[in-house]
Amino acid sequence: MENSRYRWVMVAAGGLLGCVAIGGMFSLPVLLQPIARDTGWSVTGVSSAMTIGFLAMAFTSMIWGTLSDRFGPLPVVLTGSIVIAASLALASLATSLIAFQILFGVMIGGATAAIFAPMMATVTGWFDTHRSLAVSLVSAGMGMAPMTMSPLAAWLVSNHDWRTSMQILALVVAAIMIPVSLLVRRAPALDAPAAPASGDTPPNISLAEALRSPQFIILLATNFFCCATHSGPIIHTVSYAVSCGIPMIAAVTIYSVEGLAGMGGRLVFGLLGDRFGAKRVLVTGLLLQAFGALGYVFAQHLAEFYAAGALFGFIYAGTMPLYSVLVRENFPVRMLGTVIGGLAMAGSLGMATGPVAGGMIYDGFGSYAGLYIGSFVVGLGAFFIILTFRPFPRTEPQVVAAPA
């Protein structure tokens, strides 16, 4: 009974840790112009710290996930929390672009990876029922970042210089994340016998076999294309709106509308996943995401951006937690951190394509239309890849016949 109650504490802790961690990293788009104006660094150079951050997340996700599997999630998320806060503080003191890119991109990106995969793996391990809803609630907490941390960063930078703003953000991160990380506990399922319960996970599969399996490779490829689909629209939509003549202060609110819709999407897709199955809902969501990205092509005025942002945010945010549910349904609990870390790696690589691709398309054509059309095509790719996913075959329990 205690475990039944505490699993919801884990959900709340995961959502709050993810919100603050991602909010710290995504403060950069808000602080981008003030940093460039104050330092003289190019906008491309400053914004590339975001791409570096996604790459750092990619290359460290499996490492953090494996460490979480081996030593438990608490030391991993505690370390990540401390490093994020320290890196924000140090990045605020950077006097060169390369130092800023290392401190903000490499350090914060790598430390953020210590939160996502370990917490998703831990929460899925705590739940045998309502699993889709649980991971969707964690993801919903992470999705609060655009509505909490981003407005906080905008308010700070409107009243202080960017360095002071970043230092205050570092204090906020430390004050919230470090205490909350101490609530994190290893899933009780890991203390149970190694044999899978009720055929819930495929028996007799090693980590090496899991990482070579078609199931893992298909999920890896799907997540890459899925994240590549929404990366460009997430990163560049505010700039796109400004290029359409919408004032910056109004354009930023599109991001919040997208985030608010994403909250609803996570909850709805989570409930649907529990009812109809994670794969079926994910397949549908990926197809809808592709058309949602294409919808931005037709937006020119603020109301149209709100509509496109609400639809797109609802869909892409709703699909993301379902990957962790599919992992929990197909892989042993003892390797969830590593497997989800692998998916996070692929997703981060996909996210890293958006800032660069969007900038190149806009610089080359003077328009963002190509970005959203390209996102549509990539989104269709994710849809067709996930159609090939087949669960591991289940092994039926052996029935021993009674002697005659």
Residue for token pair 């994020």: 84
Q: Which helix (H) or strand (E) holds 275?
A: helix 248-276
Whether the per-residue pLDDT at 303 is higher than 70: the answer is: yes
Q: Band the pLDDT of 204: cuts 50, 70, 90.
A: low
Please check the confidence at residue 199 and state whether its pLDDT lies above 50: no
Is there a contact between 27 and 149 (Cβ–Cβ < 8 Å)?
Answer: yes
CA distance from start to end of the chain: 44
Both tokens assigned to 155:
């308010």
Q: Given this structure, which CATH class describes domain 2-185+205-386?
A: mainly alpha
pLDDT reading at 77 higher than 80: yes
Is the pLDDT score of 396 beyond 80? no
Which letter does DSSP use for residue 400 in this model?
Answer: P
- Cα 195 to its chain centre, rounded Å, is 31
Q: What is the mean pLDDT of residues 109-137?
A: 88
DSSP 393: P
Residue 223 pLDDT: 96
Highest mean pLDDT among 56-60, 173-177, 229-233, 338-342: 173-177
Torsion (CA) 7, 11, 13, 16 in degrees, nearest 10: -170
Within 92-161, where are the H helices? Answer: 97-100, 109-126, 131-142, 145-159
Q: Is the pTM of this model over 0.85?
A: no
What are 332-389's pLDDT values in tens digits? 888 888 999 999 899 988 988 887 788 888 888 888 889 999 999 999 999 999 999 9
pLDDT at position 402 is 47
Question: Per-residue pLDDT tens for 11-24?
Answer: 999 999 999 999 99
CA distance 291 to 255: 19
Domain ranges of the chain: 2-185+205-386
Question: Highest mean pLDDT range out of 96-100, 200-204, 263-267, 390-394?
Answer: 96-100
Report whether pLDDT(133) > 80.
yes
Q: Give me the mean pLDDT over the 291-315 stretch.
A: 94
User: Can you tell me the distance from the alpha carbon of 319 to that of 169, in angstroms, rounded to the nearest whole number?
Assistant: 29
Please report which confidence band the pLDDT of residue 192 belongs to, taking 50, 70 and 90 as the band edges.
Answer: low
